[in-house]
Amino acid sequence: MWPAAKPFFDHLAALGDAIALREGSRSLSYAQLVAEIEVRSQHLQQLGARRIALALDNGIDWVLWDLATLHAGLVCVPVPGFFSTNQQVHVLDSASIDCLIGPDNTLYSALGFSASATASAAGVLQRPRAVVSELPVGTCKITYTSGTTGQPKGVCLDVATQLTVAHSLVQASASCQVERHLCVLPLATLLENIAGVYAPLLAGAQIELMPMAQVGLLGASQFDLPRFLTALGQAQPNSLILLPQLLLALVSAAERGLPVPDSLRFIAVGGGRVSSQLLQRADALGLPIFEGYGLSECASVVCLNTPEQRRIGTVGQPLLHLQVRLGADQEVQVKGPRLLGYLGEPATAEEWLGTGDLGHFEGPFLVLHGRKKHQFITAFGRNVNPEWVEAELVQQLPIAQAWLHGEALPGNVAVLVPRFETTSDSQLAEAVAAANQSLPDYARVHHWLRAAHPFSSSNELATSNGRLRRNALFSHYQSAIEQLMADQTCYGDA
């Protein structure tokens, strides 16, 4: 067992007969949870496994194997189901995975995985590894970030950092008295792993688990609202973790009079910029929304709004275990528990970690502007962070996706993906006008184009989890933008 994990497991054992996990008709008390973890931990050790990849759907088994790996003192590597085949291969090979817990499919077979003759549990596959990549000392989890370019990077984390974040989250939400948490995001996402499993377990809460399709998330970017609302009705959770687009769907559903459970006490939202107007709409409905901010390098959450300290338009205050400051260029920097290093790269000795995000403080509250590398400068010398504008655009019902470009241009150009095939150009124009009302002139959408197809991983205009590939979008639409701007110049409307 990792030494830093012993107090955690002792705490779980002390919770006894209270229900810890539930999936459909299957449930485990805290005592049963610890007993099952010990059995699986021993099994992994008997197999001689060293690095375990989790390639399971959300459910009790995912949590049990994750905790068993922690208990056994081994390295756990979650494999997101929304990763492409090439990305999954990269994860398994770069992390030198010798044991995989997941389906025995053709991909894994081709990579040398097969059911071990000594494996007593179904879905436990092994392969020999002659060469094993080096890891920073203390690495117990490698979480892969899905960047917009290149292969995902492996972030190496120790036990103490993950549990420190989980403890801070329990403190931050203590007044909400969360008794049931529903996991909505994939458990392979570090945010749900830490804030949706470790934190609720530390709080003695019950974790409701469902397969991703049952909760309404289908693949990387498809979302089934009726299934999601049904899942909420069945689980009656006190807490959820949502991405901005899921929050938008929940708010829109509530505004239409669709049933939303009154059991909700703490809905955390993060993973992207959230429109202030959307949060105000949620407030008007009485939904307890708390925006936060984090990154994998800091084991997920860094800042969070709480019931006691909340300000719309900000991502909240830093959690108690770390410090946040701004660099000379307004880059957000963090000091405190963090990654041991990136897989295959030398560790940095810098005391403050640069996040690549830009922001400013309003008192103790952090306001984010967007990614440092995404910022563009208009022909009038104004800095614009496109995520801010894009968040306002996609809040408008007719717009499903938006990409903003304005580098060295006299006016910003948006490429818009309509939410429905029947959405007319006039409806898109009205939506753009509505979004512009909340934006300063230099950040407004001055011109726009209708996209022929959604931005997706299949056309390489977005990543497998929906992030825009900005360089690819620019290459794809450069000619159309140049023609649009030339036409506007000809008509004196540049």
Residue 204 amino acid letter: G
pLDDT in tens, the chain (494 residues): 899 999 999 999 999 999 999 999 999 999 999 999 999 999 999 999 999 999 999 999 999 999 999 999 999 999 988 787 888 899 999 999 999 999 888 889 888 898 876 666 668 999 988 788 899 999 999 999 865 455 788 999 999 999 999 999 999 999 999 999 999 999 999 999 999 999 999 999 999 999 999 999 876 556 889 999 999 999 999 999 998 878 988 999 999 999 999 999 999 998 777 888 889 999 999 999 999 999 999 999 999 999 999 999 999 999 999 999 999 989 999 999 999 999 988 887 889 999 988 899 999 999 998 778 888 878 767 778 898 899 899 989 999 999 999 988 888 999 999 999 999 999 999 999 999 998 888 889 999 999 989 999 889 999 876 889 998 999 999 999 989 888 775 544 43
pTM comes to 0.82
Beta bridge partners of 368: 359
What pLDDT is attached to residue 150? 59
What was the pLDDT predicted at 492?
Answer: 45
Q: Dihedrals φ, ψ of 77, to 5°?
A: -130, 95
- Domains of the chain are 3-158 (3.40.50.980), 160-335+350-369 (3.40.50.12780), 375-490 (3.30.300.30)
Q: What is the DSSP string of 422-465?
A: T--HHHHHHHHHHHHTTS-GGGS--EEEE-SS---TTTTSB-TT
**DSSP E strands, 265-406:** 266-269, 289-295, 300-304, 317-318, 323-326, 331-335, 341-342, 353-362, 365-371, 376-377, 383-384, 399-405
Nearest-5° Cα angle at 224, 452 to 281: 90
Chain centre distance of CA 92: 20
Give the CA-trace dihedral at 267, 273, 275, 279, to 10 degrees: 10
Cα(325)–Cα(34) distance, integer angstroms: 40
- Distance, in Å, from the CA atom of 406 to the CA atom of 118, rounded to the nearest integer, reads 60
Dist CA 321 CA 343 (whole Å): 25
Residue 62 host element (H or E): helix 60-72
Coil, strand, or helix at residue 400?
strand
Cα 171 to Cα 166: distance, rounded to the nearest angstrom: 9
Q: Write the burial class of residue 161 (CB in 10 Å: 0-12 exposed, 13-18 middle, 19+ buried).
A: buried
Question: 378 forms bridges with which residues in the sheet?
Answer: none
Q: What is the secondary structure of 5-54 as a DSSP string?
A: GHHHHHHHHHTTTSEEEEETTEEEEHHHHHHHHHHHHHHHHHHT--EEEE
How is residue 348 annotated by DSSP?
P
Report how far residue 361's alpha carbon sits from residue 316's, in angstroms, rounded to the nearest whole number: 10
Residues 460, 450: Cα–Cα separation, whole Å: 18
Tokens 């392969």, located at residue: 127
Q: Which among 190, 149, 140 has a CA at the least distance from the CA of 2?
A: 140
Give the helix/strand (H/E) hosting 226. Answer: helix 225-235
The upper half-sphere exposure of residue 369, i.e. CA atoms within 13 Å in the direction of its Cβ, equals: 21
| Length in residues, the chain | 494
